[in-house]
Chain A
Amino acid sequence: MLIDTLKQRFTAELIAAESSLGDQVITVSREAAPGVLRALRDEPDFDFNVLIDLTAVDWLGREPRFEVVYQLKSLARNHRLRVKVPVPGDDAWVASAVELWNSADWLERECYDMFGIDFRGHPDLRRILLYDSFVGHPLRKDYPVDRRQPIVEEVDPVATPRPPSR
């Protein structure tokens, strides 16, 4: 079983490992995450060559507040894995995975846009679905669904190109 192999390989790094509803799920700390993700991609036992999805869940009122969730897929071995990385609310960052998978580029931008989580090392971390002057991060649980946004000044995109990241 994949989950047993994972437990043997990452004895020190895993916070939790379980198989639930047919999904394999592991939890690692954000310090260990870059090394684990790299090993998951490169080692032939795992061979997770696709980062299928990356998102976050806001557990407001619980600490650590956020969970960054990676969905991995191996095309050759045809197995899937979910990697969860807990992130504290007052210091929300994880290391970027752009070096490992190109798909992380836009996924991390979206996660930053929606949750305000900083992906350290991302080459171009700016909003993607919302506009640059949007205030707040709407998928956080403390963002009220009916909040109004301030009216934005009209900008001539040619005269003032989009600001560089952050």
Chain B
Amino acid sequence: MALPARWAKKIEASDPADEIMELQMGPSHPASHGTIKFNLKLDGERIMDCDVEIGYLHRAFEKMTEQGTWTQAIPYTDRLNYASPCINNVAFALAVEKLCGIEVPDRCKYVRTIMSEVSRITDHLTCLGMASGEVGAQTVMFYMLEARELLYDLVEAVTGARLTVSWCRVGGITRDLPDDFGERIKVAFRNLDAVLEDCDKLLTRNRVFIDRMNGIGAISREDAISYGLTGPLLRATGVAYDVRKADPYLVYDRMDFDVPTGEQGDNYDRFNVRFQEMYQSKRIIEQAMRQIPPGPVCIDDYRYILPPKERVYNSIEGLMNHFKIIMEGIKVPAGETYHAVEGANGELGFYVVSDGSGRPYRVRVRPPCFFGMAALNKMLIGRMIADIITTFGMINMIGGECDR
């Protein structure tokens, strides 16, 4: 279509059509939940290049773990993925236990499984709620955050904290489930069901939502594998890789659950995979609550586990035992190992190296969303600025984990 003469003249004068605009989006942008900068090269609204800058939340996690004892590293792990801290706790404890050759009691495994799955639901609720809010579905966001509160109440009932749980120990857990946990779960799930049903109705077939999500941020299966994507991002491309099925840990091999997958690897599939996973997590929790045996939740080995307070205060051996564990730390045998669990965003692995002293020699965490952020450039080139928001939302970058 020919332009009116007066416009054509103006365009000719500055020729903005050929101009590539450089735009710094972030690091503190209201529509991106997370401190991150996109250095964009734009042709109009189309993204020609996107250099993703991370690291704004770097807190030297790996350096700090080398400064204290193995147990003192546990509070740092809470602060990695703060949307699902229990999973981080469990992953770190499992890695160190693998190095020590510890097999925790059955009840402990069940409790860890239950709390991991509760955390997975809170993580998905955070991701989906925030991502919905960013595309304008504020109602869904508040519904989901409300449902998350109910689950945080469960976390609080078990660990004593909503977010900074520090609840696992090498060789066990600090607190068992409270007696009324079954009842609490029933109440929370009843409300969660209602919320999920509402959100499903509000979003899954919502034209505005589908237009913003369908076909956006897609990545092919080959690229997803090459970029090391795991979790919902990989499963959205149709690869049914889930650490809980591929390398079962805790009691996942005793559970009956499905691994939801997508086809196109776009934001809509990612949304659906996460949404369906919440139902699967519910199934796992319900089965685990039926199967959970009575018994201790910690191993009976005072090289690793603090003695009960009666022994500490009433016997010199107990006091010395307590003192040695607190001051010198547990003695993890020299060696190295890698242990992976299925975090809410994908494979969460800990590579731990011990030199036999009471302190970690090296702790490396494999943060799942780091890989999603690396692939973001691939997902965004050729797309519009507005697609950054939905794609970034569906990667669910957690600053504490990505930047460590």
A22 to B362, CA, bound (A): 20
B63 close to A (CB within 8 Å): yes
Q: Is B58 part of the binding interface, using a Cβ–Cβ cutoff of 8 Å?
A: yes
Min CB distance, B250 to chain A, in Å? 15
CB of B139 within 8 Å of the partner chain: no
Interface string of B38-76 (1 = CB under 8 A from A): 010000000000010011001010111011000000000
Query: Chain A 97-115 against B: per-residue CB contact (8 Å), 1 yes, 0 no?
Result: 0000111011100000010
Q: Which residue of B lies closest to A141 (CB)?
A: B66
The answer to whether A145 and B404 touch across the interface, beta carbons within 8 angstroms, is no
Are A51 and B67 in contact, CB atoms less than 8 angstroms apart? no
Q: A52-B228, A106-B374, A139-B63 are in contact. Are A22 and B98 (CB under 8 A)?
A: yes
- The segment from B11-19, B123-131, B171-179, B347-355 that touches chain A is B347-355
A66-85: CB near B (< 8 Å → 1, else 0) gives 00010100010010101000
Give residues in B with beta carbon < 8 Å to A. Answer: 22, 24, 39, 51, 54-55, 58, 60, 62-64, 66-67, 98-99, 101, 223, 225-228, 230, 239, 241, 246-247, 335-338, 340, 347, 349, 351, 353, 361-362, 364, 366, 370-371, 373-375, 378, 403-404
Given A52-B347, A52-B366, A130-B58, A82 contacting B338 (CB threshold 8 A): yes
Contact of A53 among B55, B366, B375 (CB under 8 A): B366
> Besides A52-B228, A71-B366, A103-B227, 5 other CB < 8 A contacts?
A55-B364, A69-B364, A128-B54, A129-B54, A138-B60
Per CB-CB distance, the 6 closest pairs between chain A and chain B, nearest first, are A103-B228, A129-B55, A106-B374, A102-B226, A53-B366, A55-B364
- Docked pose: A22 CA to B370 CA in angstroms: 26
Residues of chain A within 8 A (CB-CB) of B98 are 21-22
Asked whether B349 lies within 8 Å of A53 as measured between CB atoms, the reply is yes
> Are A49 and B338 touching (Cβ within 8 A)?
no
> Do residues A129 and B63 form an inter-chain contact, with CB atoms below 8 A?
no
Assess whether A11 is interfacial by the CB under 8 Å rule: no
Q: Are B371 and A103 in contact (CB under 8 A)?
A: yes
Q: B58 contacts which chain A residues (CB < 8 A)?
A: 129-130
B129 CB, min distance to chain A CBs, angstroms:
28
Closest beta carbon of chain A to B51's beta carbon, Å: 8
Enumerate chain A interface residues (CB-CB to B < 8 A). Answer: 20-23, 49-53, 55, 57-58, 69, 71, 75, 78, 80, 82, 101-103, 105-107, 114, 127-131, 138-139, 143, 145, 157-158, 161-162
Q: A53-B364, A129-B58 are in contact. Are A158 and B22 (CB under 8 A)?
A: yes
A157 in contact with B364 given A20-B335, A52-B349, A71-B338 (CB within 8 Å): no
A126 → B minimal CB distance (Å):
10
Prevailing SS type, chain B contact patch: mixed
Given contacts A55-B351, A103-B226, A103-B371, contact A128 B55 (CB under 8 A): yes
Residues of A near B66 (CB, < 8 A) are: 145
Query: What's the least CB distance linking A64 to chain B, in Å?
Result: 16
B64 to chain A, nearest CB (A): 8
Provide the bound-state CA to CA distance between A128 and B36, in Å: 12
- Minimum CB–CB distance from A85 to chain B (whole Å) comes to 14
Q: Nearest Cβ distance between residue B365 and chain A, in whole angstroms? A: 9
Q: Which residue of A lies closest to B52 (CB)?
A: A106
A20 contact set on B, CB distance < 8 A: 335, 337
Q: What CA separation (Å) do A162 and B353 show in the bound complex?
A: 35
Q: Quick one: given A20-B335, A21-B98, are A53 and B374 in contact (CB under 8 Å)?
A: no
CA distance A100 to B98 in the complex (A): 30
Interface centre among B347, B371, B375 (most CB of A within 10 A): B371
Are A102 and B337 in contact, with the CB atoms below 8 A? no
Residues of A close to B51: CB separation below 8 A: 162
Is there contact, CB below 8 Å, between A50 and B55? no
From residue B293, how far is it (CB to closest CB) to chain A in Å?
25
What residues of A have a CB within 8 angstroms of the CB of B378 in the complex? 102
> B83: shortest Cβ distance to chain A, in Å?
20
A143 / chain B contacts, CB cutoff of 8 Å: 63
- Please, how many angstroms separate the alpha-carbon atoms of A20 and B99 in the complex? 10
On whether the beta carbons of A69 and B351 are closer than 8 Å, the reply is yes
Complexed CA–CA distance, A136 and B358 (Å): 27
Q: Nearest B residue to A78 by beta-carbon distance?
A: B246
Q: Which residues of the partner chain B approach A106 to less than 8 Å between Cβ atoms? A: 370-371, 373-374
A75 adjacent to B366 (CB under 8 Å)? no
Inter-subunit contact B351/A105 (CB<8 Å): no
On chain A, the residues within 8 Å of B337 by CB distance are: 20-21, 23
CA distance A158 to B21 in the complex (A): 11
Determine the distance from Cα of A160 to Cα of B211 in the docked complex, in whole angstroms: 38
